[in-house]
A and B are shown apart, each in its own frame.
Chain A
Amino acid sequence: MEWRDEGILLSVRRHGETSAIIEVFTQDRGRHAGVVRGGTGRKIAPILQPGAQLDVAWRARLEDHIGTFTVEPVRSRAALVMGDRLALAGLNAVTALLSFCLPDREAHQELYRRSEQLLDLLGQNEVWPLAYLKWEVSLLEEMGYGLDLSVCAVTGGSDDLVYVSPKSGRAVSRQGAGDWADRLLPLPPVLRGDGPAPDAEITEALQTTGYFLSAHLAAQLGSRPVPDARERFVAAFLRLAQGEHKIDK
């Protein structure tokens, strides 16, 4: 068995003294693991940083074997994000979430395309949080927990939609919510693609998507908790929005 593809490196784990087991998110084969011989060596280790875009060739005797990868760098993203707290936290959140929820060896081409675009925007902190939010919504959709925010689940109307049902993921209008309002999740305009997307709305929208990641997606994956990296990204975004500064260089 043999194939070649381009992919995003999601994780690296040491294997024995000199090798590494990597997980790559590829366009045609989804999340795929394999061994990189000499993957902890001085020449290859700098290439094998999570988020890197790699050209990978996989080879195994049988398809269900873990197999071995030979890798070549296409572009590194690590150096761009090392000194940037938000970008680094964002990269960790994306790779950790993909590694967490993608099924093994199942192609998700649209999600792959969106993930690659999102990672290529790293470092552009003025647009990245909004791009990340949209990516998280598409991740939920791809995993079967898409939000239906077009009309109110109660009244069927499309005006004054300000809540999301935590159960169905459908929008609820102020009128339709009635006494149940305090049990519903916020639906800021940014989540529907409306308005100028201020930081406060993005933060609120991330709380809503975070709920679905945790209560629905993670619960379905054997009650594993959502990776801490996602929470750290939200915290870093909040801190940046509140105007805090970076490490002294």
Chain B
Amino acid sequence: MTTIRFKTALLAGVVLLPSAFFLTGCQTAETRTIDASGPQALNTGGINSQDWYTAADQLVGSLITSGALDKTPVQPSVLAIDRILNNTQLNIDTDLLIKKIRVALLQTGKVVVTNTMGLGERAVVASEAAEMDEMTTGKKAKVIVPNYTLYGKLIQQVDRLNGVTQNTYSFQMSLVDVKTGLTVWEDDRAIAKQTKKSTLGW
């Protein structure tokens, strides 16, 4: 009798317990923290985290190398961020691109970014703060006119052939001299992604 109980307990311990762990273990979601700009980032048909870094790096490199920011009489140049149009089918926040570009340009020391002009919540707050300062001090707040405005556009082109879908994302950006209205720099960088549809259909 004792032997049977021992065998039952052994069976439960050796076979059933690991099986239970195995079965429940399969249902556990595994989450790991990765480098957003690293090789483990999920690659999808959309614009993934790595693509934002790539596009920002290429556009910043192109803008700096052009020398356009060095031509203002007073350094650093004052830059206002204009509208970044999202003409893709993706519901994305364009700050994913523009913030990286702003941070990079500020780090170069070649530009300062004005918040009293341009778009976005920060610009509104900065404008209100300037108005408040004007009201309390009675002095007209000095608004620094930007030397340049930066605007951009994201475009998506979709092509399909033989079960392969290609999404080509264009990251277009232009720098405009405020005094002359002339475009002093612009670039267009593209990232193309091909997705093959599963033949099994699931």
**A and B, one complex?**
no
Q: Which residues of A contact B (CB under 8 A)?
A: none
Q: Which residues of B contact A (CB under 8 A)?
A: none
